[in-house]
Amino acid sequence: MNPKVVFYSVGKLTKFLGALMGIPCVLSLVYREPDFFPLAIAATVTLLSGYLIERLCSRAKDEEIRHREAFAIVSLGWAIVALFGSIPFLLAGTFSSFIDAYFESMSGFTTTGATVLTNIESQPHGILFWRSFTQWLGGMGIIVLGIAVLPKLTVGGMQLLAAESPGPSPERLKPRIAETAKIMWGIYLLFSFSEVVLLKLVGLSLFDSVIHMFSTMPTGGFSSHTSNIGFFDQAKVETIITCFMFLAGGNFALYYYFLKGNPRRLFRDSEFRFYGFVVIAAIILVTLNLWGGTYKSVWSSFRYAAFQVVSINTTTGFTTQDFDLWPPLSRGILLLLMFIGGCAGSTGGAMKNVRILILLKKGYQELVRLVRPRAVIPVKLGDRPVEEAVIAGITGFFILYILLFLVSSLILMKLGVDMISSVAATAATIGNVGPGLGLVGASRNYAFLPPVAKGILSLNMLLGRLEIYTVLVLLLPATWRK
């Protein structure tokens, strides 16, 4: 491990973050609100710290970044960005405790959207903007991570994205990583801009449109209203947001081909079809479960079911209704969706559809092998067989995910939180969803939890967002050996 190389990159990242804090500063000037000074001080501190760290490690500028340094840059980078990102909240008095500010900041940068903010409506615009903006920046980070870093590092079978995609040519769109990232960011910007325009057209204020786009595109979930999307109570708004949530949960590389005039590639993609199937099946089941009991009309049932299913499955975590009051089956399905999440190469979190799909195929393959022990039956994705090493990576990821889920759930239970709330809070943070069930359900938030729990859930968000492996590998002695 070469720490200087790591800190050089982290310093650059911090400097960049400080510069971006200028945007909410300008906003607070426009609105003439008292959060200007907190934001300006935070921006200056962050900028200077980043500059200092970069300067101190400038000799490592041209040194090689190996796999282990890449892991450290990503993990430490996200943790430190969340740290500096919490300064505005602390200086503006948004939160009185450090852990609350850090939780909110981490929740933003990991695009989770779990909140400990209880008086959202009374916050100044600059702070609300910064809170939501952290998600959008986190989403940009995820795109680079998913396209450029994870496949190279073969994290938990994520090389799939690079090599195992359907069709003859590899998914790496252009040879150089930087160019690929730019294309993906272009699509991200295009979708972001389109959503703001559409939300503005159906009557939202520009501020609300931007704030909610900042939550939709990175599948975050923060809102400027305590009652979240339920505040607007407009089917039009919900439809637009549902469509963009669904898009944000899909593989951005496929959209590139779509926009280039090759839509078949999108619709023939195994993962995208599975993703669509899961969403549609869940919407039908939840609609039928709600119809007659919870809501009288089939239309209302469908409206709330569709929004909530897409919101949870893409790991956005927006809410229109308190789904914690829904019957057991609907809540059970939503809890299950918290584990599935978006597609590889999307801004969505959790396990990802492609991994679930391959695991299901693996289970079926092992079953068939019993009857035909001598037959070679490869697990296929589209037309191409999936390598055994990839399946092994996904298996390892699945095991670590379940293990992290169990340990974190038990710790919350140890702190006296009831079983359902513990399990749901864990699933909702590892999966970067946001709201859970019970005490952390749709109409509540994470504020009541003890500081230890907030710390653990912040760690869950980081681990979940970085595909677990990326962080855990730093705990291995082998990573630190020369």
Residues of this chain that interact with a second copy (CB under 8 A) are 67-68, 71, 153-156, 289, 327-329, 331-333, 335-336, 359-360, 362-363, 365-373, 388, 392-393, 395-397, 399-400, 403, 406, 409-410, 413-414, 416-420, 422, 469, 472-473, 476, 478-479
Residue 226, Ramachandran bin (φ over 0: left; ψ between -120 and 50: alpha; else beta) = alpha
**C-alpha 27: how far from chain center:** 26
Rg (CA), the chain: 22
Q: State the DSSP code for 221.
A: -
Cβ atoms 22, 43 nearer than 8 A: yes
Taken as a whole, the chain contains a residue count of: 482
Q: Residue 100 or residue 164: which is nearer to a second copy going by CB? A: 164
Q: Residue 245 or residue 356: which is nearer to a second copy going by CB? A: 356
Q: Residue 197 or residue 392: which is nearer to a second copy going by CB? A: 392
Q: Residue 168 or residue 328: which is nearer to a second copy going by CB? A: 328
Q: Residue 15 or residue 331: which is nearer to a second copy going by CB? A: 331
**Separation CA 111–CA 204 (nearest Å):** 23
Q: Residue 140 or residue 400: which is nearer to a second copy going by CB? A: 400
Q: Residue 178 or residue 375: which is nearer to a second copy going by CB? A: 375
Cβ atoms 353, 251 nearer than 8 A: no
Task: Give the shortest CB-339-to-a second copy separation in angstroms.
Answer: 9
Q: Residue 201 or residue 419: which is nearer to a second copy going by CB? A: 419
Cβ atoms 456, 425 nearer than 8 A: no
In this structure, which amino acid lies at residue 359? L
**Contacts with 274 (C-beta within 8 Å, 6 or more apart), sequence order:** 353, 354, 356, 357
Cβ atoms 431, 339 nearer than 8 A: yes
Task: Give the shortest CB-12-to-a second copy separation in angstroms.
Answer: 24
Task: Give the shortest CB-404-to-a second copy separation in angstroms.
Answer: 10
Task: Give the shortest CB-36-to-a second copy separation in angstroms.
Answer: 45
Q: Residue 183 or residue 440: which is nearer to a second copy going by CB? A: 440
**Separation CA 428–CA 422 (nearest Å):** 10
Task: Give the shortest CB-367-to-a second copy separation in angstroms.
Answer: 6
Task: Give the shortest CB-334-to-a second copy separation in angstroms.
Answer: 11
Element (H, E) at 310: helix 298-313
Q: Residue 199 or residue 425: which is nearer to a second copy going by CB? A: 425
**Contacts with 185 (C-beta within 8 Å, 6 or more apart), sequence order:** 140, 143
Cβ atoms 73, 67 nearer than 8 A: no
**Separation CA 188–CA 407 (nearest Å):** 35
State whether residue 2 is helix, strand or coil. Answer: coil
Task: Give the shortest CB-20-to-a second copy separation in angstroms.
Answer: 31
Task: Give the shortest CB-391-to-a second copy separation in angstroms.
Answer: 8
Task: Give the shortest CB-387-to-a second copy separation in angstroms.
Answer: 13
Task: Give the shortest CB-341-to-a second copy separation in angstroms.
Answer: 16
State whether residue 207 is helix, strand or coil. Answer: helix
Bridge partner residues of 291 (DSSP): 295
Element (H, E) at 313: helix 298-313
Task: Give the shortest CB-370-to-a second copy separation in angstroms.
Answer: 5
**Separation CA 440–CA 236 (nearest Å):** 28
Task: Give the shortest CB-361-to-a second copy separation in angstroms.
Answer: 9
> Nearest Cα to 77, choosing from 141, 159, 158?
141
Cβ atoms 52, 88 nearer than 8 A: no
Q: Residue 23 or residue 420: which is nearer to a second copy going by CB? A: 420
Q: Residue 395 or residue 443: which is nearer to a second copy going by CB? A: 395
Q: Is 456 exposed, middle or buried (0-12, 13-18, 19+ CB in 10 A)?
A: buried
Q: State the DSSP code for 295.
A: B
Task: Give the shortest CB-464-to-a second copy separation in angstroms.
Answer: 16
Q: Residue 15 or residue 68: which is nearer to a second copy going by CB? A: 68
In this structure, which amino acid lies at residue 353? N
Name the CA dihedral angle for 124, 42, 134, 171, rounded to a multiple of 10 degrees: 160
In this structure, which amino acid lies at residue 97? S
